[in-house]
């Protein structure tokens, strides 16, 4: 049976049963009312008694007449019997009794007797033996008629009673059948109601189960679930809300939200709840919440939805999630990302530096190649030229010419050897194979010694040495390296200045350092050239025609820094180049010299 037919039967069956119940009940009541009405007996239905009393009074009247004749009855007794007789006659002639007598066919004799009453009265007044036959003749038909009427009345009353009993029995059977119908309809209704009650109980049980399940869901939810009515009084407050706000459900129920926690009095939270109570849906994320029982703030997500019953808004439901941990994790992820970015940036800088170094190395090799092609080819060409001339003119050459050519060749070879040594020095420097043995060293003596030893290479150039005014310039350095540096500086000054100009050497001294300054006339290129002056294998624009491989200043600066000092180009008037070797005056002054040189370097 499908659902529709079943529900139709569920309605039609009880309605039909109720209709049958009501109809049968009304029918039964109607029949009972009929029976009740038929049960009333009227006095006229007791006609047998009335007739018999009339008959008796008639007979008693006759006896009274006989009694008078015998002297046994006085006139008063006679009158009493007559009155009783007349009274019964009048009763039979009254409306209801008269109609019954007519039905019984006895009315004619009554009327005849009534017509004879004056005669009877006069006969009784003068009662005597001679009037007796007439009195009996008058009363006799009356008595016979009453006897017959009594018979008929008895039959009629019994017939009436029988038919009444038949009708009553028939009505009672109808009522019994109706009662059976009522009972059946009642049984159907009872069964229906029992089934309906069972169904309702089952539905109630299911509903209670669903309610319990919902309560379990709400209770076990990790999310705070709060419901409020239109007056913002709390109606639902689950366990998560208890933990979050440290308020029990028993205390929260029926209390206004604002009285439970200051969180709900925050302006934007109040507005969100108000919006939900007007039918909107609001979500507020990462809201700070300061619980009473801890100093650290929590962060919660708040979602508000309106609760509706049909179209009517009953209140709102608030879902509150503690997102403090999530927020902390997000912050950690952000920090990690920042750290990674810093790492990438640092690594990028390192890579950029490596690239720069690679480029510098490429430049180095390119400069080295250029230097080799220029500086090594020239002496080789000189040697080759001398040897060719010796070969071509082998027959005509004098010993002096041979010596000259040989000397030229050897000078060129010696230059090559120096170039190779310089290159090897630079390689050793790069490899960290140069040792420094610092000690107290008089730079004045060192300069004088160098000037003396290089006098023959100077081609008669004049060098003026200006010693410091306050004693000998004692530096803390390795004398070998200091000589190497000064030789390089002096060699450069001689090479890149006009032959007629002076070379000046002076000293400046302060608390921690001592500088030996080599000054020559000349010029340097632009700022780019000044920056590249100390690069290895770099040769300036003013070095055309001068032998060299471009490692002198590089070596000088590197050696000075190894000793805690520096070599730098100092500011000077135009047309003058001032190159300074700065060295520490003592062990502890080396740091200061390095710092000062770094500061001066950009100049």
Partner 1 sequence: MLADSFGQAQPLPLPSPAAPILSVHGSVARANADGAAHFDLEMLRALPATRLETTTAVTDGVRRFDGVLMRDLLAHVGAQGKTLTARALNDYAIEIAMEEFDRFDILVAYEMDGEPLLPSDKGPLWIVYPRDRHAELQDIRFDYRWVWQLRWIEIR
Question: Cβ(69)–Cβ(128) under 8 Å?
Answer: yes
**Residue of 34, 44, 451, 562 that binds partner 1 (CB under 8 A):** 44
Q: Is 378 left (phi over 0), alpha (psi -120 to 50) or beta?
A: alpha
Termini Cα distance of the chain: 108
Between the CA of residue 66 and those of 69, 129, 160, 269, 293, what are the distances in Å? Answer: 5, 9, 40, 127, 132
The Cα–Cα gap between 464 and 251 comes to 104
Q: Is 82 in the site for partner 1 (CB under 8 A)?
A: yes
Minimum CB distance to partner 1 smaller for 52 or for 487: 52
Q: Would you count residue 86 as binding partner 1 (CB under 8 A)?
A: yes
Closest distance to partner 1 from the beta carbon of 64 (Å):
12
Q: Is 137 in the site for partner 1 (CB under 8 A)?
A: no
Is residue 51 a contact residue for partner 1 (CB under 8 A)? no
Q: How far is the C-alpha of 44 from the C-alpha of 347, rounded, in Å? A: 137
Instruction: Give the nearer residue to partner 1 in terms of CB position, either 80 or 524.
Output: 80
Stretch that binds partner 1, among 51-59, 283-291, 346-354, 408-416 (CB under 8 A): 51-59
Rank residues 123 and 583 by Cβ distance to partner 1 and give the closer one: 123
Per CB under 8 A, does 84 bind partner 1? yes
From the CB of 87, what's the least distance to partner 1, in Å?
A: 6
Reduced to 3 states (helix: H, G, I; strand: E, B; else coil), residue 216 is helix
Among residues 138 and 532, whose Cβ is nearest to partner 1? 138
Nearer to partner 1, 88 or 232 (CB): 88
Q: Which is nearer to partner 1, 42 or 126 (CB)?
A: 42
Tokens 């007797």 locate to 113
Cβ 150 to partner 1 shortest distance, Å? 17
Which of residues 23, 27, 53, 189 is near partner 1 by CB under 8 A? 53
Q: Identify which of residues 90 and 346 has a Cβ nearer to partner 1 in the complex.
A: 90
Distances (CA, A) of 486 to 286, 329, 516: 72, 64, 8
CA distance 528 to 535: 11
C-alpha radius of gyration, the chain, whole number: 77
Of 80, 266, 284, 314, the one binding partner 1 (CB under 8 A) is 80
Which one of the spans 1-9, 84-92, 356-364, 451-459 is the region binding partner 1 (CB under 8 A)? 84-92
Q: Which two structure tokens, joined as six digits, stand for 465?
A: 């040495």
SS (H, E, C) 27-62: HHHHHHHHHHHHCCCCHHHHHHHHHHHHHHHHHHHH
Taking the least distance from each CB to partner 1, the nearer of 39 and 400 is 39
Q: Report the site for partner 1 in 312-351 (rule: CB under 8 A).
A: none
CA distance 70 to 26: 69
Closest to 257 (Cα-Cα) out of 279, 227, 283: 227
* Minimum gap (Å) between residue 169 Cβ and partner 1: 22
Instruction: Please tell me whether residue 141 binds partner 1 under the rule CB under 8 A.
Output: no
In the complex, what is the shortest distance from the CB of residue 205 to partner 1, in angstroms, rounded to a whole number? Answer: 56
Region binding partner 1 by CB under 8 A among candidate stretches 90-98, 143-151, 263-271, 575-583: 90-98
Is residue 208 part of the contact set for partner 1 (CB under 8 A)? no
Question: Tokens 């060749």 — which residue?
Answer: 409
Q: Are strands 474-477 and 439-442 parallel, antiparallel or unpaired?
A: antiparallel
Question: HEC profile for 49-117?
Answer: HHHHHHHHHHHHHHHHHHHHHHCCCCHHHHHHHHHHHHHHHHHHHCHHHHHHHHHHCCHHHHHHHHHCH
Q: Which is nearer to partner 1, 69 or 86 (CB)?
A: 86
Q: Which of 86, 80, 75 is nearest to 126 (CA)?
A: 75
Asked if 114 touches partner 1 (CB under 8 A), the answer is no
Pairing of strands 566-570, 298-309: unpaired
Stretch binding partner 1 (CB under 8 A), from 36-44, 158-166, 189-197, 269-277: 36-44
We find the least distance from the C-beta atom of residue 39 to partner 1, in angstroms, to be: 10
Which region among 91-99, 225-233, 290-298, 464-472 touches partner 1 (by CB under 8 A)? 91-99
Regarding 115 and contact with partner 1 (CB under 8 A), the answer is no
Does position 67 interact with partner 1 (CB under 8 A)? The reply is: no
Among 36, 42, 126, 292, binds partner 1 (CB under 8 A): 42
H-assigned helices in 372-478: 377-392, 399-431, 443-453
Asked whether position 36 contacts partner 1 by CB under 8 A, the answer is: no
| Number of residues located near partner 1, criterion CB under 8 A | 22
| Contact status: 83 vs partner 1 (CB under 8 A) | yes
**Closest approach of partner 1 to the CB of residue 27, in Å:** 26
Residue 58 touching partner 1 (CB under 8 A): no
Residues 540-569 that bind partner 1 (CB under 8 A): none
Q: Does 46 bind partner 1 (CB under 8 A)?
A: yes
Q: Does residue 87 bind partner 1 (CB under 8 A)?
A: yes
* Identity of the residue, 21 or 85, whose beta carbon is nearer to partner 1 in the bound complex: 85
Binding-site member from 95, 118, 133, 602 for partner 1 (CB under 8 A)? 95
Q: Which two structure tokens, joined as six digits, stand for 163? A: 């038919």
Nearest to 516, CA basis, from 563, 479, 572, 465: 465
- The packing angle between helices 117-125 and 132-220, to 10°, is 120
- The answer to the question of residue 161 lying near partner 1 (CB under 8 A) is no
Q: In what order do the strands lie in the sheet with 513-521?
A: 463-466, 503-509, 513-521, 576-584, 566-570
Which residues are at the interface with partner 1 (CB under 8 A)?
40-44, 46, 53, 56-57, 80, 82-84, 86-88, 90-91, 94-97
């Amino acid at each position: 049976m499908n659902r529709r037919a079943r529900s139709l039967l569920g309605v039609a069956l009880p309605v039909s049963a109720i209709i049958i119940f009501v109809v049968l009940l009304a029918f039964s009541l109607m029949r009972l009312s009929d029976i009740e009405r038929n049960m009333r007996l009227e006095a006229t239905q007791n006609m047998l008694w009335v007739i018999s009393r009339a008959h008796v009074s008639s007979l008693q009247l006759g006896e009274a007449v006989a009694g008078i004749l015998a002297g046994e009855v006085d006139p008063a007794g006679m009158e009493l019997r007559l009155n009783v007789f007349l009274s019964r006659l009048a009763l039979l002639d009254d409306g209801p009794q008269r109609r019954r007598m007519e039905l019984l066919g006895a009315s004619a004799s009554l009327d005849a007797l009534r017509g004879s009453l004056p005669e009877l009265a006069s006969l009784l007044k003068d009662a005597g033996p001679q009037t007796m036959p007439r009195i009996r003749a008058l009363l006799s038909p009356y008595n016979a008629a009453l006897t017959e009427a009594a018979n008929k009345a008895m039959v009629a009353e019994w017939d009436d009673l029988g038919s009444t009993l038949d009708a009553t029995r028939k009505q009672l059977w109808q009522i019994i059948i109706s009662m059976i119908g009522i009972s059946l309809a009642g049984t159907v209704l009872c069964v229906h109601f029992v089934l309906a009650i069972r169904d309702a109980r089952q539905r109630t049980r299911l509903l209670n189960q669903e309610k319990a399940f919902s309560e379990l869901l709400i209770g076990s939810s990790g999310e705070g679930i709060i419901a409020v009515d239109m007056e913002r009084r709390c109606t639902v407050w689950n366990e998560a809300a208890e933990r979050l706000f440290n308020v029990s459900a028993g205390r929260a129920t029926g209390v206004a939200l604002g009285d439970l926690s200051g969180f709900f009095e925050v302006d934007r939270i109040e507005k969100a709840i108000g919006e939900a109570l007007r039918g909107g849906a609001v979500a507020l994320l990462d809201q700070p919440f300061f619980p009473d029982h801890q100093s650290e703030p929590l962060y919660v997500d708040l979602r508000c939805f309106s609760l509706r019953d049909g179209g009517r808004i009953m209140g709102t439901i608030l879902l509150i999630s503690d997102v403090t941990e999530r927020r902390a994790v997000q912050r950690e992820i952000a920090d990690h990302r920042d750290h990674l970015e810093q790492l990438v940036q640092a690594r990028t800088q390192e890579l950029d530096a490596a690239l720069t170094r690679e480029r510098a190395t490429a430049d180095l090799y390119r400069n080295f190649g250029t230097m080799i092609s220029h500086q090594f080819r020239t002496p080789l060409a000189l040697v080759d030229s001398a040897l060719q001339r010796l070969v071509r003119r082998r027959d005509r050459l004098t010993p002096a010419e041979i010596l000259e050519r040989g000397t030229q060749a050897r000078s060129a070879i010696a230059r090559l050897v120096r170039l190779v040594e310089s290159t090897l020095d630079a390689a050793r420097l790069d490899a960290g194979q140069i040792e420094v043995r610092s000690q107290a060293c008089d730079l004045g003596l060192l300069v004088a010694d160098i000037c003396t030893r290089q006098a023959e290479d100077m081609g008669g150039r004049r060098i003026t040495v200006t010693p410091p005014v306050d004693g000998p310039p004692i530096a803390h350095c390795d004398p070998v390296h200091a000589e190497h540096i000064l030789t390089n500086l002096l060699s450069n000054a001689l090479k890149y200045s006009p032959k007629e100009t002076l070379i000046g050497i002076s000293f400046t001294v302060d608390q921690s350092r001592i500088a030996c300054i080599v000054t020559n006339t000349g010029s340097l290129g632009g700022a780019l050239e000044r920056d590249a002056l100390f690069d290895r294998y770099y040769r300036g624009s003013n070095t055309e025609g001068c032998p060299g491989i471009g490692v002198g200043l590089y070596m000088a600066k590197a050696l000075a820094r190894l000793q805690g000092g520096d070599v730098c180009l100092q500011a000077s008037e135009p047309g003058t180049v001032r190159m300074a070797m700065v060295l520490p005056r003592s062990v502890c002054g080396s740091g200061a010299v390095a710092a000062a040189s770094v500061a001066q370097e950009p100049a």
